[in-house]
Homo-oligomer: A and B are copies of this chain.
């Protein structure tokens, strides 16, 4: 059996209470007592049982991270940042991958709710109402989406799209296709919105190709539709889709970027390593993760007053790599 506070108390010759105090708030006990407790704890290799602690304090020291697909390189980067930031504040991370299954999100959250002090929902796919049901129960911060009344951290998708369109227009493109991501993705809707606005204000024609899975295969599947359209450039929901598009276009003999220029979104590692490089809208992924943790910690300690939720919008930046004008 593991070593408990009792063992430490016995070895140190003090009461459990003193052990607890000595460890939690060292100034509250006599230096001598503290010393004895600390040595005893060290010798026994004592680590408090957080489950037991959480029972009484109501705090677990854990945060839950729920995301749709760890295989999308965007998320590991965010999770890593979350991890790092959480550890700074002595929080551990529960990870749950929903496999893009919106229906498992809510049950998952419910099941985990008692083991965490709050959630970081990355690009959740569940309906607004389903999520709202948690409003007064569990502290939650939403990443890459906005759902009242939760604090959120999002990327400035509209500005990213504005940059992308400006870039393509400057290169001489007049007709640009958009290959959308999952229909229930807020980011997808937000990007499309930004794209429409940018297209409208520049007079550029936007050809919407519809929705596809946010994966390489999704891009591959959409490529033929893009090639069948009059577009000379295509903006993809994210880099994976963009890479799929490139892959299939190239395979079909449609040179990228000569025949069709491709712009992605996210700036995952791959984007800089393919050749020619993938032009993409970079998102400050680490900042999103870090800000998410900060907001969540804040929410957990201070609670949300009834003011409007905090909404942090992180900048996006176009990274130009391989794109060119139409031939």
Contact = CB atoms under 8 A, between A and B. Distances in A.
Nearest to A250: B275
Copies of this subunit: 2
Nearest to A54: B51
A286 to B, nearest CB: 10
A83 B99 CA distance: 10
Contacts of A71: 76-77, 80, 269
Contact of A216 (B69, B84, B114, B273): B273
A52 to B, nearest CB: 6
A49 B45 CA distance: 27
A150 to B, nearest CB: 19
A243 interface: yes
A73 interface: yes
Contacts of A243: 273
A47 interface: yes
Interface residues of A, number: 47
A137 interface: yes
Interface string A61-89: 01001000111010111011001100000
Contact of A137 (B2, B70, B79, B247): B2
Contacts of A73: 73, 76, 269
A260 to B, nearest CB: 16
Contacts of A65: 95
A2 B59 CA distance: 13
Interface stretch (A23-31, A105-113, A139-147, A201-209): A105-113
A94 interface: yes
A71 to B, nearest CB: 6
Interface string A108-142: 00111111000000000000000000000100000
Contact of A45 (B110, B250, B274): B110
A189 to B, nearest CB: 26
A47 B114 CA distance: 8
A109 to B, nearest CB: 10
A43 to B, nearest CB: 14
Contact of A273 (B52, B75, B270): B270
Nearest to A47: B110
Contacts of A93: 94-96
Contact of A80 (B47, B97, B115): B97
A55 interface: yes
A76 B191 CA distance: 26
7 contacts: A47-B113, A49-B55, A50-B114, A51-B60, A65-B95, A73-B73, A274-B275
Given A73-B73, A92-B111, 11 more contacts: A2-B113, A2-B137, A47-B114, A48-B114, A49-B55, A50-B114, A50-B115, A73-B76, A84-B97, A216-B273, A243-B273
